[in-house]
């Protein structure tokens, strides 16, 4: 019995020793990400990923894999941006991954500004049901009923309405081509009212 206990203790000790380098690497990555954010990212996105400007996306709570992929696309030029291209050019894949994890671990907070309830009703319908008359699929069919997305598809919940509208227009004009091409078709089927309404509704999701 004592021998078995000793073996178990030894196994636990070995596992703890083996995990130490992993924990050390994670802390180093976190520290490097914080250094990068405090040096450049915070100017537009804030230290907590809660951008104060509706022009820049809120990053708090976004999927780490998705963020890392967007940074890689900015760096390669696959996703066009005069602002993000120079910001991403010197980043390594490891730093992109660390930045993704940094913002993914931040808590996304809902916005509380008043909104037109009738516009929200239109947005809620489009988000959850789509528009069968124009062949528009629902946003929820890919991004989830609460807009939380997946590692491959972005979290939409709580995003700035202005940013959502800007991205939908870029998809419609084929100015944004790095993500799922399905979005080109989706965006082309949205009317101006639907675009505005669904963006306003998305901002209310938590």
What are the residue ranges spanned by the domains of the chain? 25-104, 117-202
Residue 4 clears pLDDT 80, i.e. is over it = no
The domain 117-202 is placed in CATH, from the list 3.40.50.300, 1.10.760.10, 3.30.70.60, 1.10.287.130, at 1.10.760.10
Nearest in space to 64 (alpha carbons), one of 91, 102, 27: 102
For residue 135, give the DSSP letter: T
Q: How many CB atoms lie within 10 A of CB 51?
A: 20
Look up the pTM and report it. 0.85
When pLDDT is cut at 50, 70 and 90, the band that residue 182 belongs to is very high
Q: How many CB atoms lie within 10 A of CB 180?
A: 12
- Any residues with CB less than 8 A from the CB of 196 and at least 6 apart, and which? 119, 123, 161, 165
Of 83 and 180, the structure prediction assigns the larger pLDDT to 83
- Give residue 52's pLDDT: 84
Question: How far are the Cα atoms of 33, 46, 149, 161 from residue 168, in angstroms, in the given order?
Answer: 29, 23, 16, 11
Residue 168 clears pLDDT 70, i.e. is over it = yes
Same fold, 25-104 and 117-202: yes
Cα separation, 25 vs 49, whole angstroms: 23
For residue 48, give the DSSP letter: T
Segment 179-188 shows an average pLDDT of 92
- Give residue 6's pLDDT: 57
- Give residue 110's pLDDT: 73
DSSP 3-state of 131: strand
Residue 8 clears pLDDT 90, i.e. is over it = no
Q: How many CB atoms lie within 10 A of CB 72?
A: 17
- Give residue 20's pLDDT: 56
Question: And the tokens for 11?
Answer: 């196994």
CB 186 within 8 A of CB 137: yes
Residue 14 clears pLDDT 80, i.e. is over it = no
Cα separation, 12 vs 99, whole angstroms: 32
119-160 pLDDT, tens per residue?
999 999 999 999 999 999 999 999 999 999 999 999 999 999
When pLDDT is cut at 50, 70 and 90, the band that residue 174 belongs to is very high
45-95 pLDDT, tens per residue?
999 999 989 999 999 999 999 999 999 999 999 999 999 999 999 999 999
When pLDDT is cut at 50, 70 and 90, the band that residue 3 belongs to is low
- Give residue 114's pLDDT: 74
Q: Does domain 25-104 bear CATH number 3.40.640.10?
A: no
- Give residue 159's pLDDT: 96
Angle between helices 192-202 and 161-172 (to 10 degrees): 140
Q: DSSP letter string over 71-98?
A: HHHHHHTSS--TTHHHHHTT--HHHHHH
26-40 pLDDT, tens per residue?
788 899 999 999 999
DSSP 3-state of 152: coil
């Amino acid at each position: 019995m004592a021998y078995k206990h000793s073996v178990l203790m030894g196994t636990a000790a070995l596992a703890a020793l083996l995990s130490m380098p992993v924990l050390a690497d994670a802390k180093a990555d976190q520290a490097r990400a914080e250094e990068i954010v405090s040096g450049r990212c915070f100017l537009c996105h804030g230290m907590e990923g809660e951008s104060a400007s509706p022009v820049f996306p809120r990053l708090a709570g976004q999927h780490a894999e998705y963020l890392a992929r967007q940074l890689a696309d900015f760096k390669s030029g696959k996703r066009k941006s005069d602002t993000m291209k120079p910001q991403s050019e010197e980043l390594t894949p490891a730093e992109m991954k660390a930045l993704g994890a940094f913002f993914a671990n931040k808590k996304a907070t809902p916005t509380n500004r008043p909104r037109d309830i009738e516009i929200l009703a239109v947005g809620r319908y489009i988000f959850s049901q789509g528009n069968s008359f124009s062949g528009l699929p629902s946003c929820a069919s890919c991004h989830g009923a609460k807009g939380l997305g997946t590692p491959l598809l972005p979290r939409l919940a709580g995003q700035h309405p202005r940013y959502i509208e800007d991205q939908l227009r870029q998809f419609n004009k084929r100015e944004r081509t790095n993500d799922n091409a399905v979005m080109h078709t989706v965006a082309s089927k949205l009317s101006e009212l639907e675009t505005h309404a669904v963006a306003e509704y998305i901002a209310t999701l938590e």
